[in-house]
Structure 1
């Protein structure tokens, strides 16, 4: 009998393994970086209605998210193309400093334009911190813990589900949104101090190709063009800007296919590449998910929900992500791929049904429509969480040797681009459907209907892409 036949089956790794003596400090730091980004996301989502009531700028509402995630693309890209000698732990320190500086600018902002500048600086820091979370996985943990470490990030988002809206809602109720941003500054300072002391350097052999500046600028140009399209009133100009965004993406793909300095790992601009399909699924599920940026506004304007309660309701999206991530953390092979496929389908259906439940005027504050919308918001996140950790594992396994850092950073790039394009597209749809003009209840109702109906389509695209995924290692399930 062979050794393989008599070897006992290795037990499935547990989340507690990440907190063993060998890993605990690195886990706390990496989880802290994700937590900083996640908690701030829900703080801002809860605060934005109060911000626009205080300093104005409703037509720029979506830009608070768009600029944040567009800047995070640049931050994430820096991890992969950083100069020789710049270690990952020093990148982490830079990310914490930038996040703190951006938070300070937001806290002091006299107008929406200044707040948007602060959000852009925050985004640079967030891009670094989130990308480093994935980049550090292979330095801190053995391979059998990679999927579990990805699940940890879902757990962190679950904690943010409660902390973010609580902090944001308390400060919004007291019209003290500036203090909510200022609260993040000392936390960032502590993390910047601890990073070089608690994290490994994170250096390994990698292929250095230079900075893919042309591709980054084209992608950012596409995001900004689409965002401007959501802010202008002239239909012809709006269509022209949307067309320019499409052309910029096409130009980026063309350059990436032939460039030596690449933004993505080799071969990932072709749908024949399994890694390309994994990245596209990540992108499209997050484009659909970005429709959540308007949920607090619609809840408050159409259903009379208080800021604190609306923050908790939108945070259920992250709670759904967390719950499903734990349910499927041990899956592999065909079962993991089925989880990805099922999750995309759930997200598509839930998003489309919000066009019926959330997009209706409920002046009496009846519980029925609010509870139905709440369940669907939870389902949106539940769908994404079913597949996300398995998508991350696919990337780590499929990445070419020498391009592991680039592949890991590209996870955050896809996250940022999905959120940026989703937020920009949401702005186009909402403003085109009457959010700002005619505005009011009628405008919000129409905008919500078209927003959730149309943004269910990217989740359907993810479902189609998931039909042709390779199996993850570990068996067929």
Structure 2
């Protein structure tokens, strides 16, 4: 058995997370311009939700597969699929094509972040894990700094298509390093993947996404989603190898981490999706300026994570979780109150920075708490399950806010929704009559303001959930074992 080269394996994992982080910042910056060129503002949310939905559905599946067959093959498969989706997205010539290929890209992304974080949990002890968190936080910080600027420059001097192509060299480098320097010994047992559970989960999440958009005609999807997800839980309680073992939620740390993570992720993805749209669509700002609005959050998050990892060596999880979530509430409240056309942008940027600091403290403590609560044989599925709740929160949050935008644009039936595409073009409404432009801009502004208040409500709910996190120290958790999972419920 060849020995894993930890430094170069860590570099490979850092590159994979850099690719995922760059995807968030660059695409968010470029998307208003994409809509201005391809049209389809009514489908704006779907460019994000298609990616997040496909990755959400596959996260727990990849987590389970990594426990069954090893981390390495699953991470490599996901990386290749992500790169194929990236290339295809960059070659898209219509919104329909872009949404379809973003779905493919998401199918690969579902393996990258949870499996990468699981490998870190495997090759480092708890104390080492807290320290190495600083290196991974630096990755997000660098991506947060260069992503918006890179996206703005690419859109200005090349074409939005290139925001997807820049993933390719990073992904190839990641794959080569992993194949060469990461080696694992997998203890394979006769096990079976829960296909019924995976299908019920996938169908339930899709139905839930349609339902939360709340445009009237698709409200039927909500009871269907509840029925499918109820059936999923019942199946998971009975099968020997569930996609998401229900027993892991007996641990209060895992259960509360899942709820709080879903809520603050909905707020975070909502901010990265709709703040750039506000800057370009309402304020008439450039793509670079739009990206600069979310930069403070994306940079502050990893910086705070560095301190969180060090503080965890001296304190318990709860102070970091409760304090961090409290900061997210303050930041999003200031943003909802003050993000106005006549306000200096430095003030909402400071609010976004506070939001990011709070996320850095809380999310780091929550993830390490989850990984500490289980043994090796369940660490993959536990990590992936936590990431699943975070990403499903993001999917549903962005979808809900997309429904708010479309409902506001549909209020005046005499004006087609497609006319709002001109708000995001390089001429910013040059080809639209002034009265229509004023109506569209007002509708978009109203919808986005509602969304900013929704973001605040989501962070407040996450803070309330965090108050219930148990008062336990780093070493006092009781890991869940495979015997617990196999037991009947």
Deviations 1:299-322 (A, max 9, x none): 112223211121122122111212
Relative to 1, partners in 2 of residues 1:29 and 1:61: Cα closer, same or farther, differing over 3 Å? same
Equivalent residue for 1:252?
232
Deviations 1:397-446 (A, max 9, x none): 11256312211222322232122122222222332344896652111221
Is residue 228 of structure 1 aligned with residue 228 of structure 2? no
Query: Which one is further off, 136-145 or 112-121?
Result: 136-145
Equivalent residue for 2:295?
315
Equivalent residue for 2:370?
395
CA distance in 2, matches of 1:303, 1:338: 39
Count residues in correspondence: 446
Equivalent residue for 1:428?
403
Return the TM-score normalized by structure 1.
0.85
Query: Which one is further off, 22-31 or 399-408?
Result: 399-408
Q: Contact 1:95–1:126 at 8 Å: present in 2 too?
A: yes
Equivalent residue for 1:275?
254
Q: Contact 1:295–1:314 at 8 Å: present in 2 too?
A: yes
Alignment of 1:178-193 (within 5 A): 178-193=161-176
Q: Contact 1:324–1:385 at 8 Å: present in 2 too?
A: yes
Aligned partner (choices 184, 189, 195) of residue 178 of structure 2: 195
Aligned partner (choices 304, 313, 317) of residue 284 of structure 2: 304
Equivalent residue for 1:336?
317
The structural deviation recorded for 1:73 is 2.5
Equivalent residue for 2:458?
458
Equivalent residue for 1:148?
131
Deviations 1:153-208 (A, max 9, x none): 3321111112211221112223601122122223323332332112223x444777
CA distance in 1, matches of 2:265, 2:245: 21
The structural deviation recorded for 1:214 is 3.9
Equivalent residue for 2:469?
469
Aligned partner (choices 40, 46, 61) of residue 57 of structure 1: 40
Is residue 442 of structure 1 aligned with residue 442 of structure 2? yes
Return the TM-score normalized by structure 2.
0.83
Runs of at least 5 residues in structure 1 that lack an aligned partner in the other structure: 1-20
Is residue 418 of structure 1 aligned with residue 418 of structure 2? no
Aligned partner (choices 321, 339, 353) of residue 378 of structure 1: 353
Relative to 1, partners in 2 of residues 1:430 and 1:217: Cα closer, same or farther, differing over 3 Å? farther
Equivalent residue for 1:349?
330
CA distance in 1, matches of 2:319, 2:338: 28
Q: Contact 1:90–1:196 at 8 Å: present in 2 too?
A: no
Relative to 1, partners in 2 of residues 1:227 and 1:468: Cα closer, same or farther, differing over 3 Å? closer
Aligned partner (choices 48, 71, 76) of residue 88 of structure 1: 71
Relative to 1, partners in 2 of residues 1:32 and 1:291: Cα closer, same or farther, differing over 3 Å? same
Q: Contact 2:25–2:291 at 8 Å: present in 1 too?
A: yes
Partner SS, residue 61 of structure 1 = helix
The structural deviation recorded for 1:448 is 1.6
Relative to 1, partners in 2 of residues 1:320 and 1:217: Cα closer, same or farther, differing over 3 Å? farther
Q: Contact 1:47–1:177 at 8 Å: present in 2 too?
A: yes
CA distance in 2, matches of 1:138, 1:56: 43
Q: Contact 1:38–1:157 at 8 Å: present in 2 too?
A: yes
Query: Which one is further off, 311-320 or 190-199?
Result: 190-199
The structural deviation recorded for 1:294 is 0.9
CA distance in 2, matches of 1:378, 1:217: 39
Is residue 262 of structure 1 aligned with residue 219 of structure 2? no
Aligned partner (choices 105, 109, 112) of residue 95 of structure 2: 112
CA distance in 2, matches of 1:350, 1:140: 35
CA distance in 2, matches of 1:334, 1:301: 45
Q: Contact 2:316–2:473 at 8 Å: present in 1 too?
A: no
Partner SS, residue 329 of structure 1 = helix
Q: Contact 2:278–2:448 at 8 Å: present in 1 too?
A: yes
The structural deviation recorded for 1:80 is 2.9
Relative to 1, partners in 2 of residues 1:398 and 1:436: Cα closer, same or farther, differing over 3 Å? farther
Runs of at least 5 residues in structure 2 that lack an aligned partner in the other structure: 421-439, 478-489
Relative to 1, partners in 2 of residues 1:232 and 1:461: Cα closer, same or farther, differing over 3 Å? closer
